Structure 1
Amino acid sequence: MRELLPPEIEHSLRAVLGAVDYGILVTDLEHQSLICNGKFGELFGISIEKVLRNDVMAVRRMVRDRIIDVKGWEVNLDEVYADPAREQEDELILRNPKTVLRRYTGPVRNEQREVVARLWTFLDVTLGSQKQRYQTALSEIAILFHHDPTQVVKKIIDKISVFYGSVSLLSILDDAFLRFHTAAGVPEGAPNIRGNDLTDSFCQFCLAVSEPLIIQDARLDERCRDLFPLRMGFTRYAGVPIYDPEGHAIGTLCILDDRSDERLTDDDLDFLSVLAMRISSELEREARIRKLEDWLATTTEELRGAQDKLVQSEKLAVTGTLAASVAHDIRNILSSIGVQISLGSHEPEKALDYVQDSLGRFNVLAHRLLSYARPQKAVLEHLDLCMVLEKVLSLIQAQFRISKVELEMSMPDDSVYVMGDEGRLEHLIVNLLLNSLNAVGSGGKVSICIEADDEQVVLLVSDNGPGISEEIRNRLFEPFSSTRSNGFGLGLYSCRQIAIEHKGNIDCQSDVGRGTTMKVTFPRAK
């Protein structure tokens, strides 16, 4: 305190200034220090005698190294002293060690209410501020949720990194290797590695005692000499174990940086331990989801196999119907062969040629029937849909003749190409035609048509049957849904699956009493 007051007043003022928790500085309007207490010197780590003895610029130089935002601090000081009546309350953050000060400044007035000096007070609120930060961070993390546990873990690790301004790591123990599960705050240009050996890490000491651990300065710790984190420039560490539901340590949650001058405390370990418990629960949720997904994958595969067998059973049933149709054609072929043989005595060479042609037709029919019935893996290739339709008609036309149902066909003169599997497309067309055949009965009419534009190909199968009610249409393509009492209920379901496999779709348009049209749309192959 400069000698400005009578001795008795100065003595009382010194006693007051020494008893308060506030650092106090009083300056004149030219920034020159007039009064400074010991707490001010303690907070800023400087001698109060030097504060009172030196000019304003020298005092600023004394404290500059402690200020984190030097530029903002200097600009603010100039603004404050430019307005003698200004009052201000804010926080000033110091480094080495990190300290949060609640700062107040206001004018000192004389009896005439004239501003004659400026008062500064500084209160260390680091503990309260840090506890508030802990509480805020924990509250934010408590409401984090995502259906994918890995996303929750990632957000937690990100928040820890931002909270400390450090590298934040979740590492999982894999024998003697620490695998980096999630990381945040990794410096740009750092090596991209999966993890590191347990014996080459700071985490080994945390896991060895299975307790939270702080390494304030690894450079001063003999255990840490030549370890990988120290070689990377990380000197400060705080880590806590991650446990599985049985209580076994399976990894660590840690922070790493080079700010050994900023002291970590048990509060930091408590904070990280709470977050480690949340992460442990998310890892357990992740494991349960993976287990469930594996079970679902296995079950789905088993169901798909059973479904394929049912579809094949339905296909074999259809094959029986086709076989009757093919048998009718074969009988006609054999009859014509018999006639030619009986007449062949006059022109044996001509009769032989006819027999060979007929046997060729016989072979084609048998081959197509067997190809249709045989299970095959779908392979998409460049196909002419018109040619596929013609092959199907060669198998099924006789069935329409036997049933006395008119079959009308319309297709473009030119080839219409799609990317498709021939066997699967044949299956789809046969199912649609037989469904219409069964719907119309004797004397009915079924038409099949192929239309195409530059983008898509449309296959239409229409009949003049009784139609399908809206209730049945709504579940028509579901498995085991059949309009016939003796049906499998898989025909239209398999048609829908085939359409989807070919990146197309199938739709039913029907008027009760007037008939039904099945519309299948495929992308056109270029």
Structure 2
Amino acid sequence: RLLRNAQEDAARLLRNAQKDEFEDFPKTEKPTLNNEEHTIRKNKLYAVGELSSRLTHDLQNPLSIIKNTLEILKLKDPKLDAKTKENYDRIERAVTRMSQQIKEVLDFVRTGDLMREETSVLELLKTVIEDLDVPKGIQVILPSQDARIFVDVKQMQTVFSNLILNAIQAMDGKGRIMVQILDSDGNTVIKVIDNGHGIKKENLRHIFEPLFTTKQNGTGLGLASCKAAIENHGGTINCASIVNKGAVFTIKLPKF
């Protein structure tokens, strides 16, 4: 019965997505920048580039040492008391969070020349999901259909990883994420749909801007990296969302 209910829920979610139930959601719009805003944005990007090289060496090595030392301590004393285990877990979460922040900075800075190859969208998605820590209460529904795309695999993995991770973070450990692959007017369209908290209307126009974030521990570079990578491939990415209903990120990539 549980399996049948899950299948029915997945089918209903797919039907709703195919009807494009998000078509009336507020969508991202390209902001119009005046000269002063453009200069400020340019200076911010320059600052990110300058800091990234130092972040790589100054933070990655110490974090690796902390992580490895923590693993050694756990192996030496597998029967930890509750308080020690709690402290170790806190350290591990902090290291993971800092490592993710460094990754977001580097992903943004390294978006450059493409190393294109033909690949499967579905295989890319499966690889990304295997590398993510998806909570048990969150169901990720992948499409049955597939598409071949001619892309830089590493950059596209970064895009899918950021989008799915954002969807996970938009839920309280429970919900659904569905990925849809469509064919439209010579483009391969990929939609990442979630039923999480959604994005406030006033924030939608800013979410792809570098350094914009509403997260306490965010860098504001994850979605900016996605936009840079997709546009580097000649494609587009946008978002539609309603608070407390969810969000849908739509990627359009030209066929090769």
Alignment TM-score, normalising by the size of structure 1: 0.29
Alignment of 1:5-154 (within 5 A): none
Greater RCO (Cα-Cα under 8 Å, separation 6 or more) = 2
Q: Which has the higher strand share?
A: 1
The residue identity in structure 2 corresponding to 1:516 is A
- Aligned positions, number: 168
User: 1-side partners of 2:161 and 2:173: how far apart?
Assistant: 18
Aligned pair partner of 1:380 in 91, 116, 120:
116
> 1:453–1:304: structure 2 CA closer, same or farther, 3 Å change rule?
same
Q: Secondary structure at the match of 1:410?
A: coil
Q: Unaligned regions of 5+ residues in structure 2, if any?
A: 1-42, 72-102
> 1:461–1:312: structure 2 CA closer, same or farther, 3 Å change rule?
farther
User: 2-side partners of 1:454 and 1:411: how far apart?
Assistant: 21
% identical aligned pairs: 24
Q: Which residue of the partner structure matches residue 103 of structure 1?
A: none
Q: Which residue of the partner structure matches residue 3 of structure 1?
A: none
Aligned partners of 2:139 and 2:175 also within 8 Å: yes
Aligned pair partner of 1:394 in 127, 130, 133:
130
User: Where does structure 1 differ by over 6 angstroms across 4 or more consecutive aligned residues?
Assistant: 310-313, 372-376
User: 1-side partners of 2:219 and 2:201: how far apart?
Assistant: 21
Aligned pair partner of 1:407 in 140, 156, 159:
140
> 1:304–1:490: structure 2 CA closer, same or farther, 3 Å change rule?
closer
Q: Which residue of the partner structure matches residue 524 of structure 1?
A: 255
> 1:301–1:509: structure 2 CA closer, same or farther, 3 Å change rule?
closer
Q: Which residue of the partner structure matches residue 201 of structure 2?
A: 470
Aligned partners of 1:311 and 1:490 also within 8 Å: no
Q: Which residue of the partner structure matches residue 496 of structure 1?
A: 227
User: 2-side partners of 1:519 and 1:429: how far apart?
Assistant: 11
| Max Rg structure | 1
Aligned pair partner of 1:439 in 170, 194, 205:
170
Q: Which residue of the partner structure matches residue 183 of structure 2?
A: 452
User: 2-side partners of 1:485 and 1:309: how far apart?
Assistant: 23
The residue identity in structure 1 corresponding to 2:143 is S
Shift of 1:512: 1.6
Shift of 1:505: 0.7
- 1:308-347 CA-partner distances (Å, limit 9, x unpaired): 659989xx8xxx9xx9xxx9xxxxxxxxxxxxxxxxxxxx
The residue identity in structure 2 corresponding to 1:306 is E
Q: Which residue of the partner structure matches residue 251 of structure 1?
A: none
Aligned partners of 2:135 and 2:173 also within 8 Å: no
Shift of 1:420: 0.9
User: 1-side partners of 2:126 and 2:140: how far apart?
Assistant: 13
Q: Secondary structure at the match of 2:114?
A: coil
Shift of 1:418: 2.0
The residue identity in structure 1 corresponding to 2:138 is V
Shift of 1:454: 6.0
Shift of 1:302: 5.6
- 1:21-48 CA-partner distances (Å, limit 9, x unpaired): xxxxxxxxxxxxxxxxxxxxxxxxxxxx
User: 1-side partners of 2:149 and 2:172: how far apart?
Assistant: 32
Q: Unaligned regions of 5+ residues in structure 1, if any?
A: 1-298, 328-371
Q: Which residue of the partner structure matches residue 345 of structure 1?
A: none
Alignment TM-score, normalising by the size of structure 2: 0.57
